[in-house]
Each structure stands twice: as C-alpha cells, then as structure tokens.
Structure 1
Amino acid sequence: MAIKTNNRILYIDLLRAFAVIMMIQGHTVDTFLADEYRSMDSTGYSIWLTLRGFTAPIFMFAAGLIFTYLLRADTFTFLSNPRVKKGVKRAFTLIIIGYLLRYPTYRIFDFTYVSQSQWDIFFTVDALHLIGFGLLTIIMSVFFAKRMHFSLNTILISFMFILFLVSPIIAKINWDSFFPHYISAYLYTKNGSLFPLFPWLIYVLSGALLGNYLYKNEGAYFKKRFSFSLLSIGAVLLTSAFLIYTLENSLEGVINYWLDSTALILLRIGYVILVCGIMAFIARKFNSIPQLIKDTGTNTLLLYVVHVVILYGCALFPGFNKFYGKSFTGAQTIFAATIMLLLMLGLVIVVERFKKHDKIKFLFGKNAKVML
C-alpha cells in the first residue's frame, strides 16, 4: 500500500524539501562566511546559527518518518516484505556513499601517500552513516516487534530511552582506547565525527515514531487535532528543555553534563516537532504545492551528495572550501548561498526531465531512487 492521500504526500514532501533547503544553505554559509562576521552580537547570525543547529535533526527525523511509514504501509510479512530488502540495501548504500565522499585518495587502491590525518577524516561519521544505521535500527525494531509480539512504539521508545540515558556516559569514555578508529567514530565526537550514533540516532527513531503513527492512524492527519497536537508536544518539549537548563544553572558538579545533554536533545526534538506541526498545518490548507518542491523532496540524496562535493570536495575534486573557505563577507555569503540553492533546484529540474526519457530511465527512474 503506497501513500494514497495527496495531503499526506504534501506533508512529507514539504518536510523533506524544507530539510534539504535548510541543509544546503547552512553548509554554504558555514563554508564561506569569514570569522569576523560570526558574532553573536549580530541578530542575523544568531538566528542563522540557532536554525543551523536544528537542521540535521530535521533531516534525520524526516528520513526516519518516511522510511517507517513506507515500511509499515506494506501488508507483507516481515521476511516477504520487499521494502525490508530495499531498506537494507538503501541503508548500506548511504553508509558506502558516506565513506566515498571522504575517500582519501584518487588512486583508489594506492594508499602510499595517504596520511594518518586523511584516514582519520575518512573514518569520521557523518549524516549519511547515521541515517544508514538509523534505517537498519528501524528494520531491526520492526523485526523484533513482529517476532516478540510487541508494539513497535514500545521498542522504538525503549531504544530512545536507552540512548537518552547512556549518551552522556558514552561521550565521556575514551573509546579509542578500546576500539579502532573506524568503530570508535560511531560512538563519540572526540575523533572528529559529526553525528555519532549516541545520541543522534534518537532523531531518526523519533521520526520513526511519527511514521508509525501516520501508518496506524490513516484518518488522523486530516483533523486539526493532528497539527495542534504536534505543536503542543513540541512546545512541551521546548519548555522541558529550558526548565532543565534552569535547573542545571542552579546545580554544580558532575551531574551537569547529563542534564545539559538531555536538555539539548529535548530542545532539538521539540523544535523538529514544532516544524512538523507547522508543515502539517500548511498541508491542510493547500491542495497542492509546486512540483519543484515535491521533486526537491524526492531527490534529497542527490542534492546532498552534489552540494557536499561542490563545497567540501572529494578525492577527485578539491571543493570550494579549500580556496574560499571562511573568506566571504556577509553579502557575498548570502549571494553564494542563493546561487547554490538555485543550482540545486536547477539540478532537480534537469534530473526530473531526464526521467521522462525512456532511454535514460534506467539512470533516474522510479526503481533507481534512493531517498533519505
């Protein structure tokens, strides 16, 4: 069973398009804006920096939501469900692409001139690795739910609760003393990883919770209560985060690091759910959205890879960061971000037109899509 309702497609496409647009502009601004313009005294920069901190959670939440909804929407048994096999392939595809983007040499199999620092960068965990493992965790959760006759929500919430509890502890352990770099990189940020499993997996699983809810409550989406419930839950989580911050300020000692980590997680999830509530509200008000927005939402992986290569480079291309990193004024940076967004939207238009040609459908056709 596919997504049948236009409003539901609209809601998911809006969320994914918003996530990828925020990601592209965030990476572009962070790449080019000079340090002297990065001042918290600037209202514009402060707002941008705050929003940037929530971009990755939205991206991961959206990935968990759409994947879980599609996985659960099929009426097959677990082992016969084609989306399980596709999901596993997609997860490993994302992980492999994540490593290829940081591949240390253009010589492919000749590592003679690869330095240790290049290997360290290669093994760091980024968004694609995290989402890939998130999809595998969701598949495993669905398997356990069916095998043990538990509610999927119970298993997802249990995983999230464990992540809440252990993430602050995991972050304090020197995992490089126990595991090689390519394993320890998945556990904490001290060796350069941007999105280790602890606690970032929480955002993918929280998206899975909403995806499962949408699957189980087919008609709930059309009610005002759905969007207002999301807005209320988001507000409660944000309030809880600020209360924890307030409590932390009144305490001293080792307990602070646990409270700080929990508050930050709640703050991010709260913001993401608020955005979901806003998108749900918009989706109820409109019967359609521009096709370009829909296409942007279904080409997130392509847009991610292309803009990352342009900005940060790869083994074959140095990227603009090497030549112009942190050297632009505010106006120049805004111009660069605008150009990058226009380029990515242009890429979407070109790809979608190519899909209509039978001779190259095998490159961009429906069966070739790998969506985040």
Structure 2
Amino acid sequence: TSLFFRWRSIFKVDILNIMGPSIAAAAWVWGLARTGTGKTLALLVPVIAVPLATPYIRGLDILAALPDPIESYIRPAGGYTNFTLFPWAAFVFAGAAIGVVLERASGAKDEARRVWIVTAIGAVILAASLAASYRPSPFPNSHFWTTSPSYFYLRVGIMMTGFGLAWLWSEKLWAGQWQPFVLLGQTSLFVYWVHIELVYGYATKPISHRLPLWASCLGVVVLTVVMYYVAKSARDWLTRKREEGVSDWRTKSLSVMGL
C-alpha cells in the first residue's frame, strides 16, 4: 500500500504542473494579436471566462469518464490534485495581461502612470469582489474557498494592489537599497522548493490544520522573513563560489533555480 501511494504521488498535480501548460497557452494567445491593446484584450478573455466557467466545470458528469490523473488537471479527482486548470490557469493570463500593459511603457513617467492605473483597477476589483462574496452565488456548485469567481477576483485584486505597493517600495522609497521583493521574485523557484518542505513537510505536520487564525497569520510573516534570509544566504554563497571559480553540482543546481 505504501509503495502504491508513492507511485501514485508521481501523478499528483501541483501548481507548477498547472503553470507550465498555462504559460504555453498564454504565449499562444499573446501571439494571436498584433497590437498591445489587442494582446491585452485577448489575454483578458481567459481571465474572465475561466473563473466563470469553473463552477460549471466542477459539475460536469462527463469528466468522470476520464482517468483520474487526467481529470485532476481539470477538477479535483481521486486525491491527485491540490490545483486545477480551472480556475488557477487564469492567474497566469492575468499576469501576462498586466505584463503587456507595463512592457509598453515609453519611459519612467509612463511606467509609473501605468503602475498606478493597474493598482487602482486592482483596488476596485478587490472591493467589488469582497462585496460580491457576501451575496448569494448565482452559480451552481460554487463554494467560496474553491470555485467562487468572487474569491478568484478577490485574490487578483489583492495582487494588483500589492504590486503597486511593491513598485513604490522598490522604485521610490528604497530605490537601489534594500529590495526584498526583487530578491524573492528572482529566486521564486528556489523559495518555492524550500518552503514546500517547511510548510508541508514532517517538521510542521504536528501543527498542520491546527493553528488559529492569528497564529496562521504570524506563521506567514515568519515564513516570509525566513525565506528571504534563506534565499539571500544561498545567493551570497553562490556568488562567493563563482568568484572562487567553483563549478560543481551544487552551484549548477542553484543556478538552475534562479540564484
């Protein structure tokens, strides 16, 4: 039984399994249009369609005919998944659409203007989604924490608003100084790999799903600080090894992970 579950875990769908095909699909959609406006609008179509379709996708009986490892990419099935294309793929398209908007900035002032427009739109989306979350859902099979479009757009709004604050930190308040957001962004794959072991590994199993809200929030803050210093230490170590001319499996592995 233990061996079966180990082999079964090979087919488990994680967020990276969702991001890979989503990035490829976003690149294809991006290439359909010629202008920046066209590309943005094309990318926004899945941002709207995928979350709205999610409650309906979850209730499609025909999907049960698919093998669980395949069905689990579309909706939860057989314990193979924590993430599914519906709605998680839409986050990639949202990021790509924002990227197109920012990439077309013609200078520092235009970039700042675009950043604040994105931030303002994000704040509106956040407020509207929060208000909608208190209303009865018009969708079947809709549950706030899993399939609700309101929950999806609430998270998009939070990220768009947070993006503006991160830009303000990095470009204005502490420009050229302490840049934790830049470091965590550049080392995100390494941070992801390490944090998985810390959050979901055996070390934290005794407190998994047992913490009150305040302790969970504190844990997020502590984990963020820990991951920043882990990433910084790993990058500093790699920099020293490169200066010493060392090139072995350790340095190559860290380089592949973005350090």
- Cα distance in 2 between the residues matched to 1:169 and 1:339: 36
C-alpha displacement of 1:161:
3.0
Equivalent of 1:238 in 123, 126, 144: 126
Identity of aligned residues (%): 20
C-alpha displacement of 1:323:
5.5
Are 2:69 and 1:182 equivalent residues in the alignment?
A: yes
- Superposed CA deviations along residues 317-359 of structure 1, whole A, max 9, x for unmatched, are xx32445645779779958973784366135323333234222
Aligned in 2, Cα 1:155/1:228: closer, same or farther, shift over 3 Å? closer
- Secondary structure of the structure 2 residue equivalent to 1:290: coil
Equivalent of 2:142 in 229, 249, 257: 257
Aligned partner of 1:46 in structure 2 is none
Equivalent of 1:273 in 141, 149, 160: 160
**Residues 105, 111 of structure 2: 8 Å contact kept:** no
- Cα distance in 2 between the residues matched to 1:239 and 1:335: 26
**Residues 102, 111 of structure 2: 8 Å contact kept:** no
C-alpha displacement of 1:119:
5.0
Aligned partner of 2:28 in structure 1 is 140
Structure 2 length-normalised TM: 0.75
- Superposed CA deviations along residues 226-255 of structure 1, whole A, max 9, x for unmatched, are 343233212221232244335427x7xx65
Residue 101 of structure 2 aligns with an amino acid whose one-letter code is Y
Structure with higher RCO (Cα < 8 A, 6+ apart): 1
C-alpha displacement of 1:174:
4.4
**Residues 56, 140 of structure 2: 8 Å contact kept:** no
Aligned in 2, Cα 1:175/1:220: closer, same or farther, shift over 3 Å? farther
- Cα distance in 2 between the residues matched to 1:200 and 1:353: 35
Aligned partner of 1:289 in structure 2 is 177
Are 2:107 and 1:219 equivalent residues in the alignment?
A: yes
- Cα distance in 1 between the residues matched to 2:142 and 2:219: 39
Residue 285 of structure 1 aligns with an amino acid whose one-letter code is K
Residue 353 of structure 1 aligns with an amino acid whose one-letter code is W
Q: How many residues align?
A: 251
C-alpha displacement of 1:308:
1.4
- Superposed CA deviations along residues 199-241 of structure 1, whole A, max 9, x for unmatched, are 1111111111111111112326656533432332122212322
- Superposed CA deviations along residues 274-298 of structure 1, whole A, max 9, x for unmatched, are 1112222333423223266543331
C-alpha displacement of 1:182:
1.5
- Secondary structure of the structure 2 residue equivalent to 1:145: coil
Specify every segment of 5 or more residues in structure 2 that has no aligned partner in the other structure, as ranges: none
Aligned partner of 1:114 in structure 2 is 3
Equivalent of 1:151 in 38, 41, 47: 38
**Residues 18, 89 of structure 2: 8 Å contact kept:** yes
Aligned in 2, Cα 1:196/1:339: closer, same or farther, shift over 3 Å? closer
- Cα distance in 1 between the residues matched to 2:105 and 2:189: 28
- Superposed CA deviations along residues 78-112 of structure 1, whole A, max 9, x for unmatched, are xxxxxxxxxxxxxxxxxxxxxxxxxxxxxxxxxx8
Give the root-mean-square deviation of aligned CA atoms.
4.0
- Cα distance in 2 between the residues matched to 1:173 and 1:306: 36
**Residues 144, 150 of structure 1: 8 Å contact kept:** no
Residue 148 of structure 2 aligns with an amino acid whose one-letter code is S
- Cα distance in 2 between the residues matched to 1:340 and 1:244: 30
Residue 226 of structure 2 aligns with an amino acid whose one-letter code is L
- Cα distance in 2 between the residues matched to 1:327 and 1:263: 27
Comparing 285-294 with 158-167, which one deviates more in the overlay?
285-294
Equivalent of 1:320 in 189, 203, 207: 203
Aligned partner of 1:160 in structure 2 is 47
- Cα distance in 2 between the residues matched to 1:245 and 1:198: 19
- Cα distance in 2 between the residues matched to 1:247 and 1:230: 26
Aligned in 2, Cα 1:354/1:225: closer, same or farther, shift over 3 Å? closer
C-alpha displacement of 1:198:
0.4
Aligned partner of 2:59 in structure 1 is 172
Equivalent of 1:129 in 7, 17, 22: 17
Residue 355 of structure 1 aligns with an amino acid whose one-letter code is T
Residue 216 of structure 1 aligns with an amino acid whose one-letter code is R
- Cα distance in 2 between the residues matched to 1:154 and 1:332: 38
Specify every segment of 5 or more residues in structure 1 that has no aligned partner in the other structure, as ranges: 1-111, 314-318
Structure 1 length-normalised TM: 0.55
Aligned in 2, Cα 1:283/1:355: closer, same or farther, shift over 3 Å? closer
C-alpha displacement of 1:303:
1.7
**Residues 68, 77 of structure 2: 8 Å contact kept:** no
Equivalent of 1:206 in 94, 98, 109: 94
Equivalent of 1:352 in 236, 244, 256: 236
